[in-house]
Structure 1
């Protein structure tokens, strides 16, 4: 007879096989039995968040920094799962593998439909699952123990292969049902089905012909899905062995080491640096890897790279100019493309590449001592170290960090497509835990005073877990990105100015040692001296730096993006 295991324990063993070590979420009466198993599991740590939205953000950040794993959140039926849904939708939008486990009423209650708490009072027990369908690649409700193992495996496999969220709904009485352990001996696969050999060979030949026709004048443009679908190593070998210039889109930042001699910088359409824009748009052939053409990722759709000069490599298809080849994925294609394109290395080496570096302003319009974005981000680039995890909030931070190079093996974490303000606080929690698992460097959060007010509670969870990020809080008196988009002087873009340097003490556990530290810097000199302080840079404890900035100052890239967005999203009274 096969050994037996509870369904809840089976699920946890599958997650442990994927090296999931942290589970985020909030306890509720329909998931408490499952949480007993989580708390008792030797390889799993129950994090316990302040709210479900933050837990979803944390699972997202964890998955981004730990590419061999997935993020996991557990909530309760209805009130818990709906609170998390914005975070899950963001993970879907940005292609992040997150498993949402929901504890739901027992199988008999779902059949008889009594008017339970957390329901809508009308017997529609499936209403929340129907909502979840919009933000998940697949889902399963575990009602039959005979198929539970197969359903768990199916859903998790879909999560890791598609890099999208999935849902598992587990009734209270199913958690402790016993099933055989046999399936656990077969590892879950993260691989796509193999490319069709004949079609793949044709595609390879076509790509080589296009490079030949361009006389070797080709570039690589690397984007978000190169990270999400785990081809960073393949891309590294491809760019190094071919020697073609390589650029990145904003969502692809840190997919390629920005100190690499053939790396030219970030291409964002019309708001790119002039030398980057010229090199990318004048290339005879652009080979895009993992492209994601959203508005903020393309300079409001101002890419100037027509299809007749473009090849696109994606996780599940390839585009060669106007021809689409379904089921020809880049994970298997790129290794075969490398030797085919390596012969162009001599021609590629003659193509000049602009040197991508931080640029201090020659003249600062805000004055010599005032901390400006134009000065701060080049200065921060000197503070960054190899293997740092750099989390930048939607708005001034996510745009500012684009303009400076990151060190080798540093990881950039930002949410450019979904853009939910406050996301980075929860994400920093998950990112810091993943960084600890993988022996990465410091975790650094850049966030504005408006954004952090939405999710500040999760800093208390970081301190409870003895995590030591540095929180760089940009105090510019409100929602700066919104000021640039609309309502520059409107009150709705203002916020209450909290006593920021007192917050860590308020949120910290009484027994936290060493105690958290907070600072306020008003001038470049004060900020520079703090960054040069060894004890500060070594992250001996969690730290918060309040950076006083002008409310109307913003990175140039954000200002240009806001101008473009303002033109396309103009508020027009059509009835006038």
Structure 2
């Protein structure tokens, strides 16, 4: 056996250790920082990171690390996470599941016991004691678009390349199981001279041409067509096509809550957020629902994304373009991907052929929502945030008031919005903020990273603040202090004990976690003091981590949250 291995290695043009090969491939794809926690089954692999141009980010726990890899991927197009077998990977599994749900490409690398230990069924720590070393990989298979068990050096390089391609193309997590005795096994390093092909396969020409013809026919015949852009347009990287289509057609364009940031909101045809009854501005609902042709791009029609399934649109008036199929009215075309269809439609259509209706004017309605009270209200805050934001900011909103409030915020151009509307794991945004801020720093982009998180949510993942401080990241963090889990209060139990939280001295955590000399802290309780902060040039410059306690009333919530919570409560109460 040993002789065969030696012959194989001698025949390699450029022998390279598996860990080095894997990490160099990650670097080629654009990853610069790898999140995770050390464990004895991954320690040797971690030694290879620096020489491969990758920075190690030791998070405070695996769940936060998974959230951070998710946030990193949303800014950099791919994130990576390393955990240890069993105890580490299971702590991360909720965060990885969220990335799967929301179409985020995260590479989850799990250091595991050696192939010899697995073959012999040894009773090792971090196992269930039953000799089954596949049980955790089987769990992760449900939330991964590819599982690669690196057990045979002959196949490993091919497995890695294939898995990374699938991760990127399908924009979902992959799971890589790396046994300790495979870390230094040899593979063909010369393969690195050929980058992984990350291009999507072209549509079958006849199928694509047919769908394009049908789409063009309906677009040209429509009396008041509109475009609706959703999350998967972002996740599957067709925003260039989206903007070219907007420029070519001048059609009114709307985004869903999960599609916030997909469209330049300063464009004259931008009409706001369409979310059924929760639309902002409200006239967006009337325009979309009265349209005789809605062209949706990357739709994810979940409950929170539709304000409690409050869409009042007909499939008979809808064309849905997706990453792996298209639906024109009631006809489905499997395997026809939206990128090719969009590009052909752009090439073949002109605005003069279309009935172009005006879009509603979208403004940050600060004055309209200003009252005489000093209290900071949800209705006033979110339009005011729109005036505070700058071009190319990265804005993270937590499940709850922030996710719904941001619907009423008109963005400057180039803003990237991060939210977890579908998976909705409370606390996600704090880890995601760390990952997003790190991605911006890795790009040397100078982009500000701004987080809005509720006090209840912040308590779940507050420790990740320490990672931000250690990495010298410079996010602006607004903790909305409104006494507990607001979204749950509005769904059920406004005064219920289970929706209450402990009153923390939140800004004191900055000092506890090591930021006393490098970060700034603020407590804001009135509109006037918030106005002063948001107009302060030093605060706007964001040259250090800035932590803001933002005090708001307990029983106040964005109008869209109240509406969606009512719909959610009704859905929860439904019986056969």
Same fold per superposition (TM over 0.5): yes
The answer to whether the 8 Å contact 2:274/2:288 transfers is yes
**Alignment correspondent of 2:462:** 456
Q: 2:127 aligns with which of 94, 107, 119?
A: 119
**Alignment correspondent of 1:233:** 240
**Alignment correspondent of 1:206:** 214
Does residue 185 of structure 1 match 2:193? yes
**Alignment correspondent of 1:540:** 543
Distance in 2 separating the partners of 1:464 and 1:448: 23
Distance in 2 separating the partners of 1:307 and 1:346: 23
Query: Using a 3 Å threshold, how does the CA distance of structure 1 residues 571 and 301 change in structure 2: closer, same or farther?
Result: closer
Distance in 2 separating the partners of 1:274 and 1:500: 36
The answer to whether the 8 Å contact 2:220/2:354 transfers is no
Moved over 3 A (4+): 344-349, 361-365
**Alignment correspondent of 1:90:** 98
Q: Normalising by structure 2, report the TM-score.
A: 0.95
**Alignment correspondent of 1:382:** 387
Distance in 2 separating the partners of 1:328 and 1:117: 48
Q: 1:353 aligns with which of 345, 355, 359?
A: 359
**Alignment correspondent of 2:62:** 52
Compute the displacement of 1:356 (Å): 1.3
Does residue 567 of structure 1 match 2:570? yes
**Alignment correspondent of 1:26:** 37
User: What pairs up with 1:390-401 in 2 under 5 angstroms?
Assistant: 390-401=395-406
Q: Normalising by structure 1, report the TM-score.
A: 0.95
User: What pairs up with 1:93-242 in 2 under 5 angstroms?
Assistant: 93-215=101-223, 217-242=224-249
Q: Which runs of 5+ in 2 are unaligned?
A: 1-10
Distance in 1 separating the partners of 2:96 and 2:318: 33
Distance in 1 separating the partners of 2:179 and 2:347: 52
The answer to whether the 8 Å contact 2:24/2:52 transfers is no
RMSD (CA atoms): 1.5
The answer to whether the 8 Å contact 1:444/1:470 transfers is yes
Compute the displacement of 1:348 (Å): 4.2
**Alignment correspondent of 2:509:** 503
**Alignment correspondent of 1:64:** 74
Report the 3-state secondary structure (helix = DSSP H, G, I; strand = E; otherwise coil) of the residue aligned with 2:263: coil
Q: 2:271 aligns with which of 259, 264, 269?
A: 264
Distance in 2 separating the partners of 1:440 and 1:419: 29
User: What pairs up with 1:268-417 in 2 under 5 angstroms?
Assistant: 268-272=275-279, 273-342=281-350, 344-345=351-352, 347-349=354-356, 351-360=357-366, 362=368, 368-417=373-422
Query: Using a 3 Å threshold, how does the CA distance of structure 1 residues 345 and 427 change in structure 2: closer, same or farther?
Result: farther
Report the 3-state secondary structure (helix = DSSP H, G, I; strand = E; otherwise coil) of the residue aligned with 1:146: helix
Distance in 2 separating the partners of 1:228 and 1:478: 32
Query: Using a 3 Å threshold, how does the CA distance of structure 1 residues 363 and 334 change in structure 2: closer, same or farther?
Result: closer
Does residue 16 of structure 1 match 2:27? yes
Compute the displacement of 1:164 (Å): 0.5
**Alignment correspondent of 1:243:** 250
Report the 3-state secondary structure (helix = DSSP H, G, I; strand = E; otherwise coil) of the residue aligned with 1:47: strand
Compute the displacement of 1:320 (Å): 0.9
Range with greater deviation from structure 2 (432-441 or 546-555): 432-441
Q: Which runs of 5+ in 1 are unaligned?
A: none
**Alignment correspondent of 1:529:** 532
The answer to whether the 8 Å contact 2:31/2:76 transfers is no
Report the 3-state secondary structure (helix = DSSP H, G, I; strand = E; otherwise coil) of the residue aligned with 1:569: helix
Report the 3-state secondary structure (helix = DSSP H, G, I; strand = E; otherwise coil) of the residue aligned with 2:154: coil
Distance in 2 separating the partners of 1:397 and 1:214: 37
1:259-280 CA deviation, whole Å, 9 max, x = no partner?
A: 1100000000122243101100
The answer to whether the 8 Å contact 2:249/2:354 transfers is no
The answer to whether the 8 Å contact 1:487/1:493 transfers is yes
The answer to whether the 8 Å contact 2:15/2:188 transfers is yes
Q: 2:554 aligns with which of 551, 560, 565?
A: 551
